[in-house]
Each structure stands twice: as structure tokens, then as C-alpha cells.
Amino acid sequence: MTIRSTMLIDRNFTVSAVDPRIYGSFIEHLGRAVYGGIYDPGHPEADAAGFRRDVLKAIRALNVPIIRYPGGNFVSGYNWEDGVGPKAERKRLLELAWWTTETNEVGTNEFADWARLAGTEVMMAVNLGTRGMDAARNLVEYCNHPSGSYWSDLRIAHGYQEPHKFKTWCLGNEMDGPWQIGAKTAVEYGRLANETAKVMRWVDPSIELVACGSSSRGMPTFADWEATVLDLSYDQVDYLSLHAYYNNNAGDTANFLASSLDLDRFIDSVTAVCDFAQAKKRSNKKIMLSLDEWNVWKTVGTSRANERWQIAPPEFEDNYNHEDALAVGCYLITILKHADRVKMACLAQLINTIAPVMTDTGGALWLQTTYYPFLHASNFGRGTVLLSNVNAPKYDSKDFTDVPYLESVAVFNEEEGQLTIFAVNRHLEESMTLNIDVRSFSGLQLIEHIVMESDDLKAANTKEDPNRVLPRTGGQTKVDQGVVTSQLSRASWNVIRLQAVKG
Ligand code: AHR
């Protein structure tokens, strides 16, 4: 049997321009993300600085515009001064977020170098756990001030004549979480975020600042936390963060694939609190959202390192399967549908630790299933999100009602004259015929219909079998008199790329 869905789009009815930074990601000093991931000096592919060229190539292909660094929970115990200057003099320190030993071989300057090679910007986080506004303003001075002051001249002495000009800064990480080093109440954090943002801006007025929202929608203080923090810091911050992780550890795929509805509600709720704060302040400024950690995370909460104080032990090296890639596709579509408020988002994380790119230290590199929907969205999902009117049959799952079998969004890139439809068929048994009314576009022609499907939802790519689940072109789509008709196979991720007449 085949189910039927329809979509109606119009090139003049738009949600918002896509901020490319929604295709951001995250690299933390956690597990083998840095050591054994981007940095592996003993590897045959390593450059003179110790960065793996094959890793850079895989990441460059993803076209990631911004990467959050150095944490995560790690940042709340991190003294940035320990990670700069001559490597031989850097301290080995006990790292209390993950109970490891941090060698400090990679720090701010090395990461800035790596980011340049990766073609990405750095979203820098400051420590508001064990440190505060003094360390934060000094770090801005070190990174962004041209010269002529103690910290900027120290950067120059360290070999970096030009300032890094980091634009986006996170004011701490998950400060509401009891697991966080130096966790705070909303009032404590809101005041600190406000004062820290103020002095950081005084050092460099061009920066943008992200305040911590709740660690998840499930936190007991969710929504009150956001309201209080914004009440205390509204004029000094530009973005509020959200973190969202999901998994199918309960073994209920229909429910898991519906989890993007939770993300949808989360985004709507945080938007509502931001607008409440705006109303209360009678402000003209709107706070935008930074979904700066999101992903499927199966091993969440399972460990700090089993044995304490190891150097870069493997941590949270989730192996992603086909259904995880579908879920990631649904989250990407959800983020795009909120392009008017979500201006930054970071797939957490990028390499080895809950990541699409995997390596063996000193050895192979392979790409997880989740690499592909991100690759497609980041490369083809740029332009303007169009409003779409979708009609699809629905189902109920354990936690969600009225879940449409079709999750979809349309993005029009006017410059290239390209229209892209991203679509997931959530139905686990039935294929879907999708009719898309595109009559406002003239002369549309199919470029390609990319499909990711699998006879086994649990099939995954591994080092031994890295090509088990791959996207292919050749999905069934035809364009006829203003209607695009596509066949979406059961449980599939689809990218329907169309060329329009420009102008
Ligand atoms: O991404 C892994 C961890 O998840 C981060 O360190 C923390 O911010 C979140 O809880």
C-alpha cells in the first residue's frame, strides 16, 4: 500500500532567510574529539601541527560555518591560560567535568588554526563555573584586541600577530545543571551573565553573546530559568541557548521518529519566554535562539571515564544506524521550519564523541549514517525557508499524538535558482506518494532526488563496513505542470532538488 501526502508552497510566502550558522557543530575536550580526533600527531595523515588532513577533508565537506569550543561541561573548569603559550610549558591537569587528565596540547590558538583550515568560525565559550568576568574579559582581550595591551601582546608573543576576531561567545554552559562545575541558580547566573557580557562587550563591542537557557526541556526549572535569566540580562545578550538530545533506548521507533515534535515544542516554548521577556521590558530587541547542542545521544548519562584520570579515553562513541539518521533528518527539518528564530544550532558533537565522523586514533576514518542528512541540509538547505501547507496522514505514538507521517520543508535559494525539498517518510511499512504544488515556480526541472533508505532500520556504518547505509541519487520524482510528484520509500530521508528559472 502507498499513503498519500500533499505540500503546497509559494515562492512569495516565506518563513525567513536561513542563517547558515544553523549548520554549526561542536567540539569539546571530551573523549577523543580533540585528542585522537582532530589532533593526532602520530597519524600518517597529520600535518606539521598534528591535525589530521583526512578529518579536515570530511569536515570541510560538511560546510560547517561555526563550531562551538572548548565545551560543554569541560569549559566550567577550564583555565584558558593553561592552553596558550609554549607547549612544553603547559600543565597536565585533572579535568573534573569528565574525570580525565587534560594535557593542554590543544588550546585556543591551536583550535583557531584548525578552524581556519576547516573553513569555519569559532563559537567560543567562557568559564562561568570556576571563573568569572575577569577571566572572560581577559580572554576576549587575548583573542580579539589587536595589540598594545598585556593580553593582546601576550597573544602576539605566542606567535599570533593578528587577532582571532571570534564573534560569537557563550556565557558559560548548562549553568542550571547540578552536574555542572559551579552550577548556579537562575538569579546567580542571570546577574553574572549580565555583568560578564557587559565587560566582554566593553573590550570588544562587535561580539555577540549567548546566555545559557535550560540544559533540557525536562529540567525542573525550565521556563522559569529562561524568564529569570532574561529578566536580569536582557539588554546585554543576543541569544538564548537550548540543548536537546534524544534516543531510541526504549526501542520504540515510531515514538523516536516523532521526537522532533518535542524539539518543535521546545523551540516554541523558549521563543514564547523570550517574547514574554521582551514584552515585560517594552524592548524593541528580539532575543534569538541558539540550539547549540542537539543530536541523537544513546549513551547519555552512562559514564564519566570508567577509570579516572585517563588521557582522552573513548567516551560516548555512539554508533548511529538508519533510524538515527532519519531522526537527525527530522530535527534538521524542524530547525529549518523555525528559521525565523533559530539563528544558530550546533550538531553535538562533530568527531568521535556523539558524532557523525569517526576515527581510530592513528588509524581509519569512517562516516556514520547521521553524516549524510547533515551534509545534505548544510549544502542544499541555504536560502529562504518557504511556508508550506502540508497534508499528511497521522499516527499516535506513546508520547505524541497527531504525528504526521511526512516531515518536510522547502528551501529556495534565489541566487542559484534552486528549490530543495527535504522530506522524511516516517511510516515504517508504507511508501508515500508526495504531491508538491509548485505552481508559483516556472520551468522547474529535477536536478536529482537523493534517497537514504535501508531494509534494516538498525543497519549502521562501522569501520569494518563503512558503506552499509549510504544515500543514493535516483529517487523517483517527476515534474509535470506545476506539480512535483515523488515516491518516498518507507522510513526514508529524501532530498528533492529542483532547478527553477532564475529571477
Ligand atoms: O555534548 C556533551 C555534553 O552534553 C556537554 O558537555 C554538555 O553541555 C551536555 O550536557
Mind listing the domains of the chain with CATH numbers? Answer: 2-12+385-500 (2.60.40.1180), 19-380 (3.20.20.80)
Ligand 1 neighbour 71 (Cβ under 6 A): yes
**Which atom number of ligand 1 is nearest to the Cα of residue 348?**
1
pLDDT reported for residue 24: 98
**Which atom number of ligand 1 is nearest to the Cα of residue 349?**
1
Q: Does the structure show a pLDDT above 70 at 304?
A: no
How far, in Å, CA of 42 to CA of 274, rounded?
48
Question: How far is the centre of ligand 1, averaged over its atoms, from the C-alpha of 98 (Å)?
Answer: 10
Q: Does the structure show a pLDDT above 90 at 503?
A: no
For 70-87, the pLDDT digits (tens) are: 999 999 999 999 999 999
Q: Cα–Cα distances in Å, from 156 out to 4, 168, 205, 265?
A: 62, 22, 21, 47
Catalytic residue status for 315: no
pLDDT band at 481 (very low <50, low <70, confident <90, very high): confident
State the distance between the two ends of the chain, measured CA to CA, in whole angstroms. 40
Ligand 1 neighbour 28 (Cβ under 6 A): yes
**Which atom number of ligand 1 is nearest to the Cα of residue 293?**
1
Position 134: which residue type? D
How far, in Å, CA of 213 to CA of 94, rounded?
28
Q: Which of 293, 302, 315 to mutate to test the pocket of ligand 1 (most atoms within 8 A of CB)?
A: 293
Is the pTM value of this prediction over 0.85?
Answer: yes
**In degrees, to the nearest 5, what angle opens at C-alpha 229 toward C-alphas 226 and 230?**
80
Catalytic residue status for 110: no
Question: DSSP string of 155-184?
Answer: HHHTT--S-----EEEE-S-TT-TTSTT--
The three cell numbers locating residue 110:
591551536
For 26-64, the pLDDT digits (tens) are: 999 999 999 999 999 999 999 999 999 999 999 999 999
- Residue with cell string 510566502: 13
Question: How far is the centre of ligand 1, averaged over its atoms, from the C-alpha of 151 (Å)?
Answer: 29
User: Which of 81, 102, 174, 226 is labelled catalytic?
Assistant: 174
How far, in Å, CA of 501 to CA of 503, rounded?
7
Q: Whose CA is nearest to atom 7 of ligand 1?
A: 72
How far, in Å, CA of 203 to CA of 113, rounded?
23
Alpha helices in 84-166 (DSSP H): 108-118, 133-144, 150-157
Name the DSSP class of 500.
-
Sequence-distant (≥ 6) Cβ neighbours of residue 464 within 8 angstroms: none
Nearest to 120 by CA among 408, 344, 411: 344
The three cell numbers locating residue 197:
557580557
Mean pLDDT value across residues 186-211:
98
Q: Whose CA is nearest to atom 6 of ligand 1?
A: 72
